[in-house]
Each structure stands twice: as C-alpha cells, then as structure tokens.
Structure 1
C-alpha cells in the first residue's frame, strides 16, 4: 500500500470527493470538491440537482435543498471542473461511485461529459481495502474505517464533507503529518 500510495502521489494527483442526493441510479452531485496533495482546494462548488435530496443523504452530509436554491447547475460548472483537473490523475475514495454520480449528474443535464471517461482515476478505497482488509458486506472498506485503521482521528461531524479527503491516508502512509481537511 505504501509503495502504491507513493507512486500515485509522485504523479501530482488531485483528490476528488462529492456529496450527493442519494445512492441510486438517479442520484446527482450536490457538492464537488477537488484538492491537491497538500490539501489546497483546487475546485469547490455546490450544485443544484434536478432531483430531490434523499432524507438519508441529507442526514449524512447535512445539505438541504434550501441551501442549494442559488447554487449553480452542472452545466454552469462542468467546464470549470474539467479545467481544474487539467489532465492530472485523480484519486477518489470509492471511485466507481463518485464517477457514476458525476456521469449521472451530467446526464441529467444532457451533457455527454465524455471527458469523464478520459480521466486517469485511482481508487483509494480499493487500495485501503487491499491493505487493511474489507470491513463491510460490500467487500470494501469505509473511509471512516480506513482512517481509523491508519491511526487518524475521524469525526462524524466533519467526516462527510467534500474537504475531508483520503489525502490524509496517503500522507500517513507516505510518512507525512496527517491532517483531516474540513470546511472552514
């Protein structure tokens, strides 16, 4: 795990996370965040979805539909997100989920977003599950569990926000000080 994390970090990756309206095949992003390996925010936005926010999702991330009333649409920010990524590799905890959510969000706005297919994406969850072992019925590991096993402090109050990135796990593995980045 340490070698793979080091290899990924040597590529100057970005770390992407989303918050969503839910988990199903109509769920969309309500928030997207992108940081670099030092934790500097490269891109961050909330999004107004075309579907309602599910009660379970709202309970996890605390984002209400009212909070998104003035938020931009996917079509307003997709080009900015693509530009912010700029061809750099992206590390995502549960990459399949977040990429699916981004694609569903784009589709809801009739945006083919072909560039999402072209991104180089690495999954931090798969890396952590390979190192720490699976801890749930899905055959994966949660970010909270991976962080805990890596010896990082984890708070459910700050754990589900787009500025809490798996970069902290890589910093730990790489031997750097561990920091959990939270919304200011």
Structure 2
C-alpha cells in the first residue's frame, strides 16, 4: 500500500548530465526544499568530458553554454551539506545518486556521503500508486515524470521539463497531488 511522503526535512534533487554511462557526469544540478519548494541549489556546471549530442537533445544544454561555468568540485561541499540529515527525494533516485557519485569521483571529491544518502525514489513510489503492473518485469511500470504530471492533471506549463530545477518542482507538485489523493482515500 502506497503511503504519503512526509515532506518535512526533505530535499528534492535532480541532475542533467553529459550522458547516461559510467563515465558521464553532471552538467546541471538543482535541489529544492521538499516542503516549501524554496530553491536551495541551481547550477550549471562545466564537465570534464563533452556533453553527448543525445543528452544535449534531451535537456538542451550545450558544451558552449557550460564552457565558462563553475565545476562540480566548487559546489561539492554544498551538495553534501544540503543532503546531510535529510531524506533526499529523487525521481529515478538510483540514476541521480549514481551520476552524482560518479561526478564526485571524477572531480576528486569525497563521494562517501553521497553513497550514504537517505534516499527515496519518487518514481518507484508513483509507479506503485499509478498501479500499472508489468508482468514481464514483475514490477510496476515506471512513468516518465511529465507523464506522471499529466496523469495527475498537474499544471506544469510554467516549467521546462528536463531542466533540473523544473524537474525538482514537477516532482514536488506530483508528491503534493498524490499525497492529497491519499488523504482523501
């Protein structure tokens, strides 16, 4: 049974990356307070490697756009501090934690605290709530974030999907909408 997500003492985090592989890294990272929506972090970052064309086609961030940005190393301690003692809510948590860990390692930062995040996957939670079973995978079918928002009739016309801050806010709105439905049941 799906339970409401308690939003006190949480942060919502999202990243955009150079690609999806084991050598890829963050080019944009954002975090908001899960309860208030206050922006805690919203940075574009200069990666060590180039952004793949396929990744750029998804999030719209180009190599030219990030060539003069700060590096991940300069914000690593802020990321660690933002997530310390908080539940980290992420839509597709396994991916974003892995890519944040990889990026920390690539930039010679201590990755230990990222590995130990108190993390919660909002995508898996929502998929269970949406209740679309996949017999082949023996699990609930994962829903894209924008599809989940559409399914819940959440207005996201003021946001840009695949932009880290916007994806954090879409996730927050989705949690609030589902929490409200769960309260009414």
Q: TM-score, normalised by structure 1?
A: 0.84
Q: Describe the shift of the 1:67–1:119 C-alpha distance in structure 2 as closer, same or farther (beyond 3 A).
A: same
CA contact (8 A) 1:33 1:162 kept: yes
Q: Measure the CA separation in 2 of the matches of 1:167 and 1:65.
A: 29
Tell whether 2:15 aligns with 1:30. no
- The unaligned stretches of length 5 or more in structure 2 are none
Q: Measure the CA separation in 1 of the matches of 2:92 and 2:159.
A: 20
- The unaligned stretches of length 5 or more in structure 1 are 177-184
Q: Measure the CA separation in 2 of the matches of 1:142 and 1:69.
A: 30
The match for 2:105 is 107
Q: TM-score, normalised by structure 2?
A: 0.84
The match for 1:4 is 4
CA deviation profile, 1:2-57 (whole Å, cap 9, x unmatched): 6332xx32x42110000111111111110110001221101121111111101111
CA contact (8 A) 1:18 1:32 kept: yes
- Matching of residues 1-184 of structure 1 within 5 Å: 3-5=3-5, 8-9=6-7, 11-36=8-33, 37-134=35-132, 139-154=141-156, 158-164=160-166, 165=168, 166-175=171-180
The aligned length equals 173
Q: Measure the CA separation in 2 of the matches of 1:79 and 1:59.
A: 30
CA contact (8 A) 2:15 2:26 kept: yes
Aligned-pair RMSD on alpha carbons? 2.4
CA contact (8 A) 2:2 2:129 kept: no
SS of equivalent residue, structure 2 residue 29: strand
CA deviation profile, 1:114-140 (whole Å, cap 9, x unmatched): 001221000000001111135999842
